[in-house]
Amino acid sequence: MNKPVYLDYNQTALDTQYNARAAVPAFDAFVKRWLADSKQPSSELSCTLDVPYGESDVEILDIFHPAHSGPAPVLMFFHGGYWRAGDKSWFHFLARPFVERGAMFVIPKYGLAPRHNMDELVKQCRRAVAWTHRHASEYGGDSTRLFISGHSAGGHITGMMLATDWAAHGGMPADTVKGITGISGLYDLEPIRLSHVNEPLQLTKASAERNSPVRQTLSITPPATLLAYGALESNEYARQASAYAAALQIAGGAPDSMGIHGHHHFSVLDAFANPEHNFGCAVLKQIGLA
């Protein structure tokens, strides 16, 4: 029972490290607030919802048009939920601070486990990025300024999008992704495979390795990168960010890592969407709007 299964963690300790909900008793209140706050942007901001980017019923995305005229930088956001929960509509509240400052904000939906495995959902997200790159100009965006962000499982997806060889995916530029922001991301899936989180995912050692951003060989020098996590989160989230930062440095990148003081796994999104917070300001600077 006390035998280590990953690093120095036994099974109970590892499961605790990745039980983000249990660490935040007010989790349900956060979701209720997200849902309430997400009702207004879709009615008050200019947007186009449920745009198909692929052939399956889950391959749709929401576009929040830039408030200012002229081609705008594009910021995509992939939601979290441990690849098994969540929906793009929960996170409409994140759009406002970015579109009001001149960005186009895109939130894709993607398939969830157990209906979709990790290989499938990563491919779906690649299609979302490819579609956005090809069609951004139709909605006021500038495809040459495409940035990707994501929270938790979405942070993992963000890393996998950076690792994608875009030249091999429809002849897109190798540097299609101009910068990324990973928020409490999961960049190494091996501890996920060994934890309770894997029950619906059914990751194997091989599928975990080929879908772990830390284990990918990049075809380009990493672009501007922000890796943030809540300072109140479990140690594994900080370690995940540190390991990914080290991998990007080896590849020639210069990632910025930020432990967000006073924030946990869910409240960290408040800092992301707050232009007055040093994290939100850093994201705006990355996309050229601050």
Which pLDDT score, from 0 to 100, does residue 133 have? 98
Please check whether residue 174 lies inside any domain of the structure: yes
Percent of the chain's residues with pLDDT above 70: 100
Please give the average per-residue pLDDT across 101-114, as a whole number.
98
Residue 156 lies in a domain: yes
> CA-CA distance, 240 to 99, in Å (whole number)?
30
pLDDT digits (tens, 9 = 90+) for 68-96: 888 999 999 999 999 999 999 999 999 99
Which domain, by its residues, includes 136?
A: 11-287
pLDDT band with cut points at 50, 70 and 90 for residue 42? confident
Q: Is 3 within the bounds of a domain?
A: no
Q: Comparing C-alpha atoms, which of 50, 48, 101, 116 is closest to residue 283?
A: 101
C-beta of residue 126 within 8 angstroms of C-beta of residue 156: no
**Within a domain: residue 228?**
yes
Using one digit for the tens of pLDDT, what is the confidence trace for 129-146? 999 999 999 999 999 999
Long-range CB pairs of 240-249, under 8 A, 24+ apart, other chains included: 240/185, 240/186, 240/187, 240/188, 241/182, 241/185, 241/187, 243/187, 243/188, 243/214, 244/159, 244/182, 244/185, 244/187, 244/188, 244/213, 244/214, 247/187, 247/213, 247/214, 247/215, 248/222
Report the pLDDT value the prediction gives residue 43, as an integer from 0 to 100: 83
What are the helix and strand counts (H, E) for the chain?
Answer: 12, 8
Is 6 strand, coil or helix?
A: strand
Supply the mean pLDDT for the chain: 97
Encode pLDDT of 234-282 as tens digits: 999 999 999 999 999 999 999 999 999 999 999 999 999 999 999 999 9
Instruction: Please indicate, yes or no, if residue 109 is contained in any of the structural domains.
Output: yes
Question: Which residues share a beta bridge with 108?
Answer: 61
The model's pTM is 0.97
Q: Is the pLDDT of residue 225 over 80?
A: yes
For residue 79, what are the contacts with CB-CB under 8 A and spacing of at least 6?
86, 87, 88, 90, 91, 107, 150, 151, 153, 154
Q: Which residue has the higher pLDDT, 30 or 161?
A: 161
207 Rama class: left (phi>0) / alpha (psi -120 to 50) / beta: alpha
Q: Would you state the pLDDT for residue 1? A: 62
User: Is 4 part of a structural domain of the chain?
Assistant: no
Q: Is residue 2 part of a domain?
A: no
Instruction: State the total domains in the chain.
Output: 1
> What strands lie across the sheet with 224-230, from one edge to the other?
47-52, 60-64, 104-108, 72-78, 141-151, 177-183, 224-230, 256-260
The CATH number of whichever domain residue 225 belongs to comes to 3.40.50.1820
Distance CA 284, CA 99 (A): 11
pLDDT exceeds cutoff 80 at 221: yes
6 within domain boundaries = no
Contact 214, 253 (CB under 8 A): no
